[in-house]
């Protein structure tokens, strides 16, 4: 059909259709399908851009899930492979970023708690919280973010952004998480690395003064011992561009607060049966994980970012 279009100005359509063995009706139907496909692609790209205004680097799996209902309303059929190809042609594929500097200082005299979660099966919210500190850039200086995440629902329970890593910053994030805790009658484990902030008297007492809370810590500095917390840091840096350079601490605090709201209420998680963390936090029992291992061409491998294979 493309050959017919290229030669259309040199001969009559009737003669060309006869030459190539196609009817004129087939030619017009092909042209209509091509126009419809171009319109669908434009709609898909526009919808993706709208979502990425709030979640700048969201991957194809979450995008595909979020857009299904809108596509159905408009009669658009788009599988994930087609979405990836459309994004590739529009130069909108997402590429992974590099790893980031470690923040843990475990060379201190405070007591280091044992790891309690090696064989733990997570089957309800507020059974296990994981926490980690990470860097952000404000002007030319390093500032810091602490996240406290529920391991079942992936809900962000508490966070704090500040220009130092003092204990007060971490205690404020802990206070936020404890205020959001709704299942005080059930046991909760707080798991972190062995950093001085987590082992400090102020942070430890903030946990031990609460009912039904145990403290757990990594043992050897291996990131896999706190994999979910590391993964959450990666989501915020890779998906929400938290590794951008902020102009002021206030700007960083406001921007990250918006990211946390979107993370909890908008972005579906493949580790939570494609629910948002707030939705998953309302349930109990095993959650279906929707991530899989995919083998595909290098040109589309980049869009696996955001598929959460390690969480």
**Residue 160 domain boundaries:** 128-282
136 with 234, same domain: the answer is: yes
Could you tell me which residues are beta bridge partners of residue 158? 148
Q: Which of 115, 141, 143, 111 is nearest to 128 (CA)?
A: 115
64 with 11, same domain: the answer is: yes
Q: What is the pLDDT of residue 310?
A: 38
Q: What is the pLDDT of residue 137?
A: 93
* Residue 293 within any structural domain of the chain: no
* Residue 182 within any structural domain of the chain: yes
Please, are residues 90 and 120 in contact by the beta-carbon 8 Å criterion?
A: no
59 with 167, same domain: the answer is: no
* Residue 133 within any structural domain of the chain: yes
* Total domains, the chain: 2
At residue 270, what are phi and psi to the nearest 5 degrees? -65, -20
* Residue 288 within any structural domain of the chain: no
Tokens of 163: 């220009």
176 with 274, same domain: the answer is: yes
16 with 150, same domain: the answer is: no
> Which residues, including other chains, have CB under 8 Å from residue 78's CB and lie 6 or more apart?
40, 44, 64, 67, 71, 86
The Cα 22–Cα 30 span in angstroms is 11
In order along its 311 residues, the chain shows pLDDT tens digits of: 444 444 344 444 445 445 444 554 554 454 556 666 777 788 888 888 888 888 887 888 888 888 888 888 778 888 888 888 888 888 888 776 655 455 554 555 678 899 999 889 999 999 999 999 999 999 989 999 999 999 999 999 999 999 988 889 999 999 999 999 999 999 999 999 998 899 999 999 999 999 999 999 998 766 677 888 988 998 999 889 998 999 999 999 999 999 999 999 999 988 888 899 999 999 877 777 654 433 334 444 444 444 443 33
Please, are residues 5 and 22 in contact by the beta-carbon 8 Å criterion?
A: no
Could you tell me which residues are beta bridge partners of residue 150? 129
Read off the pTM.
0.70
* Residue 309 within any structural domain of the chain: no
* Residue 139 within any structural domain of the chain: yes
277 with 193, same domain: the answer is: yes
């Amino acid at each position: 059909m493309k050959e017919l279009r290229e030669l259309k100005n040199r001969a009559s359509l009737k003669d060309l259709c006869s030459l190539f063995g196609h009817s004129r009706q087939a030619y017009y139907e092909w042209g209509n399908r091509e126009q419809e496909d171009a319109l669908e692609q434009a709609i898909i790209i526009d919808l993706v851009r709208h979502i990425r205004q709030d979640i700048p680097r969201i991957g194809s799996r979450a995008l595909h899930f979020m857009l299904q209902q809108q596509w159905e309303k408009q009669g658009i059929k788009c599988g994930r492979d087609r979405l990836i190809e459309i994004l590739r042609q529009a130069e909108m594929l997402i590429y992974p970023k590099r790893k980031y500097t470690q923040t843990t200082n475990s060379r201190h005299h405070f007591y280091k708690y044992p790891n309690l979660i090696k064989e733990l099966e997570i089957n309800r919210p507020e059974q296990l919280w994981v926490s980690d500190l990470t860097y952000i850039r404000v002007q030319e200086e390093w500032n810091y973010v602490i996240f406290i995440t529920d391991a079942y629902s992936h809900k962000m329970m508490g966070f704090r952004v500040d220009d130092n890593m003092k204990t007060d910053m971490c205690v404020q994030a802990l206070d936020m998480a404890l205020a959001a805790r709704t299942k005080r009658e059930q046991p909760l484990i707080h798991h972190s690395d062995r950093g001085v902030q987590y082992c400090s008297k102020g942070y430890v007492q903030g946990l031990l003064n609460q009912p039904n809370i145990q403290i757990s810590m990594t043992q050897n500095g291996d990131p896999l011992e706190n994999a979910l917390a590391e993964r959450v840091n990666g989501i915020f840096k890779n998906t929400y561009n938290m590794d951008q350079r902020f102009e002021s601490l206030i700007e960083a605090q406001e921007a990250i607060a918006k990211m946390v709201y979107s993370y909890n209420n908008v972005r579906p998680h493949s580790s939570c049966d494609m629910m948002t963390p707030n939705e998953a936090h309302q349930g109990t029992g095993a959650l279906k994980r929707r991530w899989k291992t995919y083998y595909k061409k290098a040109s589309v491998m980049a869009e696996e970012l955001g598929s959460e294979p390690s969480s």
